[in-house]
Amino acid sequence: MDDSSPWPLLIAFFGIPAAGMGAILFDLEIPRLIYGHATPLFLATEIGSLGTLFALFLLLRSRLALPSAPSGLVRDVLDFLAVARWHAAVKLALAGLLILPLLWFALGNKWMLTMFASLGRRALQFTDVQNSLDGAAVAYQHALIGGVPLLFMFHMLCRWKRKSRILPWLLVPMFFVGTAVAVIISVTMAHFGD
């Protein structure tokens, strides 16, 4: 395909969200792989989703670097998918979205860390440890499902208000509050859906 072909951009536009959703929905397989209970088909789906996500991410970034890359609203959306030209406040929000569930897990499961310190890999045989690892994956699922749409809106607002230097930084706390509310709603829906 030549440099002006729209097909790579269209493939990335639809493929990155699809691969990302696959990676989020099957993220339980990574902790299950750690303690030896992964389902081969689901694990292959998880690995395939992550690999596809990375390949499409690289494809999109390479296409956006070309002079024939689109501009305007389409470019803003594609920049979000490529994690390119993001405002520093949006990058901070993404970092928090990735780090806070890990901190929550570490603070809530100190007992597990002491088990690993004393038992090593043998701690993985205990169902409490296995359930905690699954819980960490579920926490990431809910955080990403609730946070990524808000992150997209945050990114687009920063693009719409390009000249505002203070507004993006004022919206960072609101992003985290909104993500917390979205997580509570999704957990409640999942709980009552069962």
pLDDT in the model for residue 2? 60
pLDDT tens for each residue of 20-67: 999 999 999 999 999 999 999 999 999 999 999 999 999 999 999 998
Residue 164: which pLDDT band, with cuts at 50, 70 and 90? confident
pLDDT in the model for residue 187? 86
pLDDT in the model for residue 80? 97
Average pLDDT, the chain: 92
pLDDT in the model for residue 156? 96
Q: H helices within 65-166, ranges in order?
A: 72-82, 88-108, 110-119, 127-160
Residue 1: which pLDDT band, with cuts at 50, 70 and 90? low
Q: What is the pTM of this model?
A: 0.88
Q: Which residue has the higher pLDDT, 91 or 191?
A: 91
Does 4 have pLDDT greater than 90?
A: no
Burial 95-130 (b: 16+ CB within 10 A, else e): ebbeebbeeebeeebeebeebeeeeeeebbeeeebb
pLDDT in the model for residue 68? 87
Phi, psi angles (nearest 5°) of residue 164:
-80, 125
pLDDT more than 90, % of the chain: 74
pLDDT in the model for residue 155? 96
CA distances from 153 to 97, 114, 168, 174 (A): 14, 40, 11, 12
